[in-house]
Structure 1
């Protein structure tokens, strides 16, 4: 299917492809993959090469463009951009409790095991043969999209002409436990910075935590807002403008009424908009598996948290926010995750995850690869990124403290332009 649309300064073509759920099985159940192709108005009739964008996550659909701006503006100068809804996200056979309700827990876990980077790249390769006349194309990955890029260069480098990564160079060999040991340390640093910047935030946070500990408070969805759920707001501390958004939310959390201190309904409404676990369950179900190769995660973030007792809230103790961690209790507290709790346990126990990276192939990589590494990134350990950079041939990187993890969303035109110049041998000065 190919449907054309016109937005502000860009022409859009909507594509839908049928692909196997399991590429290792024939015949296999088929699922649908959606991709949005965009091209600038002035270039719409030119035979430009493709640039494919791999979204961060896992479990989030590609951006929905409204005009020719940001990194897309830079890319459209010389490419047709393909915004790929990775399998299970957006319009690509969505995964959620409703769509999986016809399966039992074991069947759900088996189904979900096919939604990692390896099959995302198999989908991309199938689509390339249909759209690009089998010519190699350029790929760009943000965050988890960078994991996809390195798998692409491991498994199907012949399909790639140039590659770019922003905020997402993973370790090729380290376990989920090692990743979270480093992650908790970075989250501690982000907490310290947050409470230093906003001097009354400590009082606001501790008052809210104490109130939630002493009273049962319910969100509009009917879910109880627990202290542990409140701590999850910390995922926003690692984003550009995230700390500011969290602080302004905290400011209006509690109100003084004739009946005493109550939680502001406005806060309860806005709180749910800061977290994506109900709307994007793949993020919770498969997040730890992106680090697993022939090993089980065994709820790594939950276990490693015991090494950092400062994150365990107690009354009259300062509360700290957590970060990009998934905990088993979330599958009891979030309404959209509850029906998938048993499947989540099975996925956490799964030991036979396939290898994601071919170390020899990457050591001999011939595809030009440029990456932006953010030294202050809360989500991706800088030292692990630099470690990987030494293991991948033909990789050039730009190390900067200018941006947080979502820098491409805030200053994408500048960031992508720098990476293109870096990949092509131009000076970054």
Structure 2
């Protein structure tokens, strides 16, 4: 079942909302259905003859962008394509997952339901839409986790694709998440060292904040106790460009004197709450490790690997303070207000060892679809060496390896990056001919 809402035009760009009803479980439609939302974006004064480009957002657990203006990667895409911004299942306007929508289910029911929200079913949703539109083939653009979805698409439905563009998101197709976190903890430590080298005073500021949190009960504006572990997690920002200076400014303004005593400012605490995206997008925490799992359990991989890096376990009086990065830990489901109701489901998902396959190495080894990728040499979230390892087994793929950008390159300079990837994809195609 599909339907389309009225379109609107802004800055010469036409936006058309589409809605689709799809199975929760494509292998067992009796389990119920979901509503999918996708926004078609095209130039207002063009006909409908251009091919499609489907965008897969990073995450997991975040909706597709809501464009504001004719700029960035969408501006470049619209030269050649009509763009479909898909809200992946569980995000945005696609049967959203939250502590509210899961509240009526038992923990076991929650875990079973959530197990259908990985890349394999996200790709099946896209295939459902392609068939509903009557499109023979379309191109895909995957950012970060969206790149993981792109390799799943290439594994499951390669004949449906004309091109694949990937930015900061070429995963291992077989490694355990332990390997991923061993690499990313190393990268995260390097980013910490770069930050504290640039801002030497930040180390004492961080230790002052952490020691204050260890000695006092501090509440965030939602009433949640704020802890050292939560404070460390703002280090996730180090994986994107231009984040060092704003972080330093936040640390510099963390304290205020009230009644002769030093306390953390409301502005600082409010900012810390705003940065806790897990509160509003719990899929990111619930399924983050499972995006690597095929026939094995994650068993709280990041937590186990963290214990090999004691420098990230700050205690008052320690010589150094380090921020953590893009990792999920079991204590989050005890501390974060909106994750607490999902703790038992998270534990079940971490123990789940019968995850189905996400990639097909044999299909990828015979790939004919031009695959062009931006691989960021200093990426804190997706390890360059693992990306190169994967691409070595995928013919008709090409990597642009660059240290000009961080993980958010597509957002920072998307017009240039997508232009480069389109040029690379065309070159691969013509070399095939």
Q: TM-score range by the shorter chain?
A: over 0.9
User: Is 1:409 paired with 2:411?
Assistant: yes
Counterpart residue number, 1:159 = 160
**Equivalent in the alignment of 2:29:** 26
Instruction: Measure how far apart 1:40 and its partner are.
Output: 1.3
SS at structure 2 position matched to 1:77: helix
The TM-score, its normalising length taken from structure 1, stands at: 0.97
Pick aligned residue for 1:396 from 391, 395, 398: 398
**Other structure's SS at 2:322 match:** coil
**Residue by residue, what CA displacement relative to the aligned partner does 1:184-233 show, whole Å, maximum 9, x if unpaired?**
00000000011011121111111111111111110000011100010000
- Normalising by structure 2, we get a TM-score of 0.97
Deviations 1:32-90 (A, max 9, x none): 000000001232x2311110000000000000011110000000011110000000000
The structure 2 residue matched to 1:40, chosen from 40, 43, 49, is 43
Aligned to 2:185: 184
Q: Secondary structure at the match of 1:42?
A: coil
1:126 aligns with 2:128: yes
Q: 1:214 matched to which residue of 2?
A: 215
Q: 1:268 corresponds to which residue? A: 269
Distance 2:112 2:243 in 1: 35
Residue matched to 2:60: 58
CA distance in 2, matches of 1:106, 1:244: 44
The alpha-carbon deviation at position 259 of structure 1 amounts to 2.7
Matches within 5 A, 1:81-100: 81-100=83-102
- Aligned pairs for 1:136-147 within 5 A: 136-147=137-148
Equivalents in 1 of 2:245, 2:84: separation in Å? 32
Query: Which of 376, 384, 387 matches 1:382?
Result: 384
Deviation beyond 6 Å, 4+ runs, structure 1? none
Q: Secondary structure at the match of 1:114?
A: coil
Residue correspondence of structure 1 range 342-381 to structure 2 within 5 A: 342-381=344-383
| SS of equivalent to 2:79 | coil
Which residue in 2 is equivalent to 1:197?
A: 198
1:174 is paired with a residue whose SS is coil
Separation in 1 of the partners of 2:330 and 2:338?
14
**Aligned residue in 1 for 2:69:** 67
Q: Distance in 1 between matches of 2:236 and 2:24?
A: 31
Please say if 1:79 is aligned against 2:81: yes
Q: Deviations over 1:105-145 (max 9, x none)?
A: 000000000000000000000000112x2310000000000
Match of 2:13 among 10, 14, 22: 10
Instruction: Provide the C-alpha distance between the structure 2 equivalents of 1:203 and 1:305, rounded to a whole number of angstroms.
Output: 23
The reply on whether 1:288 has 2:293 as its aligned counterpart is no
* 1:49 equivalent in structure 2: 51
Shift of 1:9: 2.1
CA distance in 1 between counterparts of 2:93 and 2:75 reads 24
In 1, the alpha carbon distance for the partners of 2:106 and 2:321 equals: 38
Q: What is the root-mean-square deviation in Å for CA atoms of aligned residues? A: 1.0
Which string of whole-angstrom CA distances, capped at 9 and with x for unpartnered residues, describes residues 349-406 of structure 1? 0000011110010011000000000001000011100101101111011000000000
Are 1:288 and 1:300, in contact at CA under 8 Å, matched by a contact in 2?
yes
Mapping for residues 223-234 of structure 1, pairs under 5 Å: 223-234=224-235
| Structure 2 match to 1:237 | 238
Q: C-alpha distance in 2, partners of 1:422/1:134?
A: 24
